[in-house]
Amino acid sequence: MAAAGLRLLGAVWLSAALLLRLGAAASAAVAVVDGRRAIAATGEDFVCATLDWWPPDKCDYGTCAWGRAGLLNLDLSNKVLLNAVRAFSPLKLRLGGSLQDKVLYGTADLRQPCTPFAKNDSEMFGFTQGCLPLRRWDELNSFFQKSGAKIVFGLNAMNGRVQLPDGSMGGPWDYTNAASLIQYTAYKGYHIHGWELGNELSGSGVGTRIGADQYAADVITLKTIVDDIYRSNPSKSLVLAPGGFFDPAWFTELIVKTKPNLLNVITHHIYNLGPGRDTNLIEKILNPSVLDGMISIFSNLQGILKSAGTSTVAWVGEAGGAYNSGHHLVTDAFVFSFWFLDQLGMSAKYDTKSYCRQSLIGGNYGLLNTTTFQPNPDYYSALLWHRLMGTKVLATTFNGTNKIRAYAHCARDSPGITLLLINLSGNTKTEVSVTAHAAAAAAAGAHKHVARTGYTTAQVSVTNQAAGGGGGGGEHKHGARRHGRNFGHAHTPSFAAVADGATRDEYHLTPKGGDLRSQVVLLNGKALATGADGSIPRLEAVKVDAARPIAVAPYSIVFARISHFHAPACS
């Protein structure tokens, strides 16, 4: 008996030691979602992607990553391309980029041959002027109609400018060629969702710049042209500007001089990770402080729009993260979904209506592979967002490790909410319980109790507050408390019980082989790939007992659609 007792004691000690060791690689936390009211709203077609003008000989750091993905040479007959756009029903596409302000249009008013871009290192951006032939514009619009895409076209804002003594470009915009293209487009019955004036000419500019006062005058000119051409058309195109980097004073002047309704959308660009050649890109993507660096820009622009008394709304018009075409096996690999989805979640909280990813195809940051057209991981991340995250944004507070990013929206085309959880940690699995605000204070008390009791044998049971009352929601907070051990037991009366048999839909994204640089993403453990016919694979959820916490594996992303979560804002 004594020997048996010693063996039993040894087994208990071993189990305890094992639990402690396992507990070091796991943590528990609570996501508090305030479902009483929306804190912001996105547009229905929030996810957007770009197509660019770059020719095949556009090269960065000795690598030419664009291939035949430019607007003048993209293979529009590719089945994967067609299906990839169609899958969004609709996908908004913004046509533009650096060479946008060097594009002429082959309309009747053009008094010169319509020739393509040619490499010339002495020219701005390394290329001569190029031209969009009308037959190519017809082909593009045929593709857009077939795929159901919504199009925003970036116009050349440099025509007619003269250089001013301070180095900027001035003088009124010569709109003749642009107006001819708009007129032709309307005559042909091509629907353009919006016309955007210029690319990266705001503030200090990229390549060159234009003052806000002159830009505002030109935007008003464009608005007059659009109003005139579409006056008998019920679906009048939007007017967007400036498609550049956020500069508070410059943007404020443009907004004030075009209010209340002469500019529909103000667009800004994001390349906050630096140059594509940066060898520390992955470290930046996984750093919560770097990701949070964008909050001030979203917040400042939201504040300017709110205080100006304008109907103008904000979009991110182009965002590739790392400029100069990105970085192969980083910005076109699984790891970039951490940055991309965090950007979507963060920008939505500050009332951004649309977010255009650079690019749909082309460079090293395409949603599709430039040569094979196969979707990269971010394509599937974008498609899941589009299908699961509704327009209403809910205040979400995450109490736990700062390596988890948490965002919640009303679910799209479904009751309840969708919660997005992004785990930037490569060695910690986090068990996330979800509650409405009413349960938050009691949950915090339960956490303190568990923290004092050390390791235990069970996880905190999940849950959702079925009744929808309770206090404020506040901003998404990181780093409130770190946990080195698993939580238990399930005796936490602060969480309301979930109905027997209730389930939720979960979509777990992980990289193939656990490699952050992988260009193959697994959905619930299964690799995503197109069919032999170029079809986009089904994105199927796994059904999970709603009474269990959401298990967020290291270096993974989880969308959880919780249909029984009571959120008055979503009804």
Q: Per DSSP, what are the bridge partners of residue 27?
A: 430
Cβ atoms 430, 401 nearer than 8 A: yes
Omega of the bond leading into 556 within 30 degrees of 0 (cis): no
- Residue 178 gets the label, from left (phi > 0), alpha (psi -120 to 50) or beta, of alpha
Q: In the Cβ-directed half-sphere of 213, how many Cα atoms lie within 13 Å?
A: 3
Phi first, then psi: give them for residue 126, nearest 5 degrees.
80, 15
- Residue 464 gets which letter from DSSP? -
Cβ atoms 167, 210 nearer than 8 A: no
Q: Is 390 helix (H, G, I), strand (E, B) or coil?
A: strand
Phi first, then psi: give them for residue 260, nearest 5 degrees.
-90, -15
Cβ atoms 262, 313 nearer than 8 A: no
Q: Per DSSP, what are the bridge partners of residue 24?
A: none
431 is catalytic: no
Q: Pick the catalytic residue from 44, 123, 283, 318.
A: 318
Q: Pick the catalytic residue from 44, 123, 139, 200.
A: 200
Closest CA to 145 of 105, 113, 189: 189
Q: Report the distance separating Cα 223 and Cα 221, nearest Å.
A: 5
Handedness of CA 553, 554, 557, 560 (dihedral sign): positive
> What separation in angstroms does the CA of 330 have from each of 75, 344, 382, 521, 553?
25, 18, 17, 13, 20
Q: Report the distance separating Cα 490 and Cα 470, nearest Å.
A: 23
Q: Report the distance separating Cα 140 and Cα 135, nearest Å.
A: 9
389-399 vs 404-411, strand pairing mode: antiparallel
Query: Interior CA angle at 224 toward 219 and 226, to 5°?
Result: 95
Q: DSSP per residue over 100-165, as a string?
A: GGGEEE-STT--S------B-TTSGGGB--EEE-HHHHHHHHHHHHHHT-EEEEEE---TT-EE-T
> What separation in angstroms does the CA of 92 have from each of 16, 37, 419?
54, 27, 24
Q: DSSP per residue over 31-44, as a string?
A: EEEEEEEEEEE--T
Cβ atoms 100, 53 nearer than 8 A: yes
Q: Report the distance separating Cα 304 and Cα 241, nearest Å.
A: 15
Q: Report the distance separating Cα 415 and Cα 420, nearest Å.
A: 16
123 is catalytic: no
Q: Report the distance separating Cα 282 and Cα 331, nearest Å.
A: 9
Q: Which residues are catalytic?
A: 200, 318
